[in-house]
Chains A and B, each alone.
Chain A
């Protein structure tokens, strides 16, 4: 059995060395105990040493607060957090670091927009168009604000209906994913943005799944709101990023009330801070932000993005071809996607999950927080393998052997 030959021979990667990339992740190089084959990166990515060390360093050596105290470490941390905001802005093509808000994750970012932007501008019978590919976190906040305001959530069956045909003067917001967490489909954001802005509506793009696979330029695409969770981009859990165009952020109402989101406060009222601070009440996830800044530095220093994705595509091709040989398989995901969603005829997805877990294979099964999409696909759940450039052919060969064992037991 040769390892990696199929994948390595297929494409030449002068700057990307898969085994070297793998070595940055301690979870993949641990020598104690049985090694798990990690194929659940769409749920959360593994963490590189650079991120882990930056977080540990903060807790071990320089624990201090941000934007409050005036002692040496606190001032340095404040400067580092500001720098991280600029790095994040550069990473997604935002012009101004003041357009970057730290949140707890993609979910909180969307809820913030729904409550601080949408709730303020929506009138009864206004419309929010939401694609039918969305994760519940890009659907529920809109259903909630629709109930609060009398607005209506309109389903966009992506790939079947042209967005233009749904747009009306009542359309105020269009919410769409950068990459589906089930099918891996990536909508044409340039085209969508053009249509949305023809109608003076606002475009929100959920980057939770796409951010780690496709670089985005929010300014070039004229995206109004863009957001993601850092933990799917090799970063820490509990931290999210929300980008908003400055003019929109300035006009928006505040989100949570608390420390440092205000300029003045009395018992009769308060004056809000300017963005981004007016949306950041309370002490932020300092260790997370510093860990994320280290993640971005690490990613920038590698500059392997395109080749790493080309490698992952080849690995996805290999995975699909090996799976197809195993049994009668229905694929739901698009070709070449790092996300591979499927079902095996006459076998329940959760049976596979249990039997693969026994063999130390980590993947995800079920509705993947996308019940409306499951309904469209005509199933109650799927098996999802999600690949990253740290996966290799050996991972896939282990998966296939484990699947054979599972199918044998279940037949």
Chain B
């Protein structure tokens, strides 16, 4: 996966809305496979119109690794972006991040972060709720 800095550069290089979505969809395809048997209710993020699943694993050095999946390519792409930003950080570091602002700053689309139905805010809430 890309580093957060490369992510910013990647979207800054795209000149059309089609290209930005194309990159978002490519990112969704780079997410590691999510095991089907973990697509259970407790792993589902409530409040997203698309079904989204998220699991996390705390490593010995206290950093967290998230894994996730969604049935839509665009939501899955947003999930991939979020995981690039948070994976490998500690719980405290994640809590202090303004993830919505970071996604907005990628300028993928004006409407994307405001689309309540896509559930981006709920996804961020779930990521930050990890203990």
Contacts and interface: CB of A to CB of B under 8 A. Distances in A.
Given A348-B72, A350-B72, A358-B17, A381 B49 contact: yes
Given A350-B72, A358-B17, A410 B25 contact: yes
A283 interface: no
Contact of B18 (A350, A351, A381, A405): A405
Contacts, number: 41
B118 interface: yes
Interface in B99-118: 109, 111-112, 115, 117-118
**Interface bin, chain B:** 10 to 19
Contacts of B118: 350, 354
Contacts of B111: 354, 357-358
Most A Cβ at <10 Å: residue of B25, B73, B115: B73
Contact of B73 (A357, A358, A380, A410): A410
B117 A409 contact: no
Interface string A360-371: 000000100000
Interface string A87-105: 0000000000000000000
A380 B50 CA distance: 9
Nearest to A346: B73
Dominant secondary structure at the A interface: helix
Interface of B is mostly: helix
Nearest to B77: A351
A30 B51 CA distance: 38
B75 to A, nearest CB: 7
Contacts of B25: 409-410
Q: Which of A348, A355, A380 has the most CB of B within 10 A?
A: A348
Contacts of A409: 18, 21-22, 25
B71 interface: yes
A358 B22 contact: no
Interface string A218-243: 00000000000000000000000000
B74 interface: yes
Interface of B: 17-18, 21-22, 25, 49-51, 71-75, 109, 111-112, 115, 117-118
29 contacts: A348-B50, A348-B72, A348-B74, A350-B49, A350-B50, A350-B72, A350-B117, A350-B118, A351-B72, A351-B73, A351-B74, A354-B109, A354-B111, A354-B115, A354-B118, A355-B74, A357-B111, A358-B17, A358-B21, A358-B109, A358-B111, A366-B117, A380-B51, A380-B71, A381-B49, A409-B18, A409-B22, A409-B25, A410-B73
